[in-house]
């Protein structure tokens, strides 16, 4: 009965063609489907039908995000637990929300974010053969990260969201920033034994800070930054290290205003591990370990 990992994000984009060009050519994702108002993408090493869905809407931001469960009946299990806790759950049949999408349940976090658990998304294969594969395809374009990694959201009450994910969905808290008054300013949670799969920072409910792609190392962050400049993409934060997660990162925006991260590093974490706590005084270090401060834009620009 376990949730595996981040499955996908559905982003709002006011200019579908522009955003499609960006996720294809700058990020280097593979387009796998399209309908009147939506385009579906996957990263080269992902086997499932989509991990980023662009939906044409007047604003940018996040419509919903999905986590993948291990077994079909994990959906029943979590639906039961959520409904027992008074959470409204909507179920989608396979292909109901979109062609290629699996069976799923949807519900709202206390912060109002729409979350999904999904099983059985159509498998389309990565770009490598199943027999004697090379380590990666040749001819990838743009940054070409192998997969999506995690999600960072804003919430008025971080601790309420954190508790919700821990109690009802078996996420585990790995790190947190705690104010001098004991207030949980930010939290990082995992289901995959990696340093985080989702995180929250204090801000407006339903707020979207960024989602991240995985890259394989520090060198890939430099190459990604080179690719951003080449394509005229605005880099918000050049390659640096987080204090939280020890990970290394690069931040920039898609052309309609959604923040992207390229992330690598982190650590393995066993269930039952004691969470790491960052104090308010070290919040800058927690976020950006080298600068030691967080610029105002990073804390306030979200959607």
Binding site for a second copy (CB under 8 A): 2, 4-5, 45, 47, 68, 70, 130-136, 138, 146-147, 192-193, 214, 216-219, 222, 225-230, 234-235, 238-241, 243, 246, 248, 265, 267-268, 270-271, 273-279, 282, 285-286, 288-292
- Structural tokens at position 38: 């939506």
Whether the CB-CB separation of 185 and 279 falls below 8 Å is answered with no
Residue 1: count of CB within 10 angstroms of its CB:
12
**210 included as an active-site residue:** yes
Distance CA(250)–CA(233), nearest Å, equals 12
Whether the CB-CB separation of 104 and 75 falls below 8 Å is answered with yes
**60 included as an active-site residue:** no
- DSSP, collapsed to helix, strand or coil, labels residue 272 as coil
**251 included as an active-site residue:** yes
Catalytic residue among 150, 190, 289, 302: 150
Q: Closest Cα partner for 106 from 74, 157, 66?
A: 66
**196 included as an active-site residue:** yes
Closer residue to a second copy, CB minimum distance, 59 or 219: 219
Closer residue to a second copy, CB minimum distance, 36 or 132: 132
At closest approach, how far in Å is the CB of 240 from a second copy? 4
Residue 28: count of CB within 10 angstroms of its CB:
19
Alpha carbon distance, N-terminus to C-terminus of the chain: 33
Catalytic residue among 8, 49, 64, 242: 242
Give the residue carrying structure tokens 């940054």. 143
Closer residue to a second copy, CB minimum distance, 208 or 253: 253
- Structural tokens at position 66: 């999905």
- Structural tokens at position 15: 């200019």
Closer residue to a second copy, CB minimum distance, 133 or 204: 133
Catalytic residue among 49, 101, 113, 196: 196
At closest approach, how far in Å is the CB of 146 from a second copy? 7
At closest approach, how far in Å is the CB of 156 from a second copy? 25
At closest approach, how far in Å is the CB of 205 from a second copy? 28
At closest approach, how far in Å is the CB of 40 from a second copy? 18
Whether the CB-CB separation of 208 and 303 falls below 8 Å is answered with yes
Catalytic residue list? 150, 196, 210, 242, 251, 261
């Amino acid at each position: 009965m376990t949730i595996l990992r981040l499955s996908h994000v559905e982003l709002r984009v006011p200019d579908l063609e522009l955003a499609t060009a960006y996720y294809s050519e700058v990020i280097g994702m593979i387009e796998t489907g399209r309908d009147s108002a939506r385009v579906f993408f996957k990263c080269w090493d992902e086997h499932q039908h989509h991990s980023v869905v662009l939906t044409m809407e007047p604003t940018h931001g996040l419509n919903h995000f999905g986590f993948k469960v291990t077994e079909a009946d994990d959906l029943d299990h979590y639906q039961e637990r959520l409904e027992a806790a008074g959470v409204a759950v909507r179920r989608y049949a396979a292909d109901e929300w979109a062609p290629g999408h699996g069976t799923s349940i949807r519900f709202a976090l206390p912060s109002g974010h729409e979350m999904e658990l999904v099983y059985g998304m159509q498998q389309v294969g990565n770009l490598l053969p199943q027999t004697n594969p090379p380590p990666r395809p040749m001819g990838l374009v743009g940054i070409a990260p192998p997969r999506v990694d995690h999600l960072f959201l804003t919430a008025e009450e971080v601790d309420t969201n954190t508790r919700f994910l821990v109690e009802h969905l078996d996420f585990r808290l790995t790190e947190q920033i705690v104010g001098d008054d004991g207030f949980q300013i930010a939290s990082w949670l995992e289901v995959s034994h990696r340093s985080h799969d989702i995180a929250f920072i204090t801000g407006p409910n339903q707020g979207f800070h960024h989602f991240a792609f995985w890259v394989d190392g520090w060198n890939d962050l430099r190459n990604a930054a080179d690719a951003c400049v080449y394509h005229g993409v605005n880099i918000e934060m050049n390659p640096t290290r987080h204090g939280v997660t020890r990970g290394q990162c690069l931040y920039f925006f898609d052309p309609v205003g959604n923040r992207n991260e390229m992330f690598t590093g982190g650590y393995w974490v066993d269930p039952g591990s004691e969470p790491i706590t960052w104090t308010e005084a070290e919040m800058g270090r927690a976020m950006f370990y080298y600068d030691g401060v967080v610029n105002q834009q990073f804390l306030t620009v979200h959607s």
